[in-house]
Amino acid sequence: MADDTPPKPIIGVTARQFEGGPLPRIGTYAPYLEAVIAAGGAPLVLPLIGEPEKWVSGVVAGLDGVLFTGGEDVEPARYGEAPHERLGVVSPLRDGVELAVFEQARLVGLPIFGICRGLQLINVALGGTLYQDLPTELSSAKLHAQGATEWLDRSHTVLIEQASALARIATVQRVGTNSLHHQAIRDVGLGLSVVGRCATDGTVEAIEGSGPGWLLAVQWHPEVLWDGVEGGPHRAIFEEFVHAAARYREERCRSTH
Ligand code: MN
């Protein structure tokens, strides 16, 4: 293989723990990595190990963007609430690691993209709160939980705020999305704007940051919807994120040479 391939922007992808085996196992779902590669980025799964203060700044220094992935519920104590009886599985380790990664990423102005739990984590990191269980707290029943075997279904429509970066990126005002969440944003975090809502019940489905640094997060799972003709808006989000990471990389290389 030729060795003159220009380096691609390096996208850190947050990991989850997997049960079983004699030793702790971490990793992520392949579609996150496939979508980053398809958009022109170089994905790297981030560590999910304790004492993040020992490694986060050194790892983030080598990244050009970070993707916060889906997964467990954020511990309610992180936004000052007691656990609701329908709270799902939590991971204090993952909360601590991802909050440390987020803080460091913000500090250096890294482009940030959040998906599902990633959107919720970002919101909590910026002082926002969550509905701990949508069906019981907002009575939207099964609208947002289409079923874990139906990831490719587009079970609801998201209305995109006209004057938003997301509208410019997606080039549509209505987008069909999948929906596999039982939590959602309640109070919006500092410096975040709601730029997408479920057309049926108004649930927050997309947020973006006012800067500094590129920040966008969605409640649905674009990493499995980007392929094919209908995938345009979902693919465009990944591409715009990787473009932002490429710009960040240019700046980073200029300032260190
Ligand atoms: Mn939804």
- What are the pLDDT digits (tens) for 202-254? 999 999 999 889 999 999 999 999 999 889 999 999 999 999 999 999 988 88
Give distance in angstroms: CA of 7 to centre of ligand 1.
36
Closest CA to 182 of 217, 216, 225, 138: 138
From CA 171, how far away is CA 192, in angstroms rounded?
A: 21
Residues pairing with 42 in the sheet: 10
Element of type H or E holding 209:
strand 204-209
Q: Which residues are catalytic?
A: 116, 221, 223
Give distance in angstroms: CA of 199 to centre of ligand 1.
10
Element of type H or E holding 104:
helix 92-108
User: Which residue is listed with tokens 């039982």?
Assistant: 182
The secondary structure of the chain in percent helix, strand, coil, rounded to multiples of 5, reads 35, 20, 45
Neighbours of ion ligand 1 (CB under 5 A): 144, 179
- What are the pLDDT digits (tens) for 119-146? 999 999 999 999 999 999 886 657 898 8
Give distance in angstroms: CA of 53 to centre of ligand 1.
34
Sign of the Cα pseudo-torsion (164, 170, 175, 178, in order) = negative
Q: For 73, which DSSP code? A: B
Contact between 115 and 221 (Cβ < 8 Å): yes
Give distance in angstroms: CA of 239 to centre of ligand 1.
22
Q: What is the pLDDT of residue 2?
A: 63
Give distance in angstroms: CA of 9 to centre of ligand 1.
30
55's CB contacts (< 8 A; 6+ apart) are 47, 49
Q: Is residue 235 helix, strand or coil?
A: helix
Q: Is residue 36 helix, strand or coil?
A: helix
- What are the pLDDT digits (tens) for 62-116? 999 999 999 999 999 999 999 999 999 999 999 999 999 999 999 999 999 999 9
Give distance in angstroms: CA of 56 to centre of ligand 1.
31
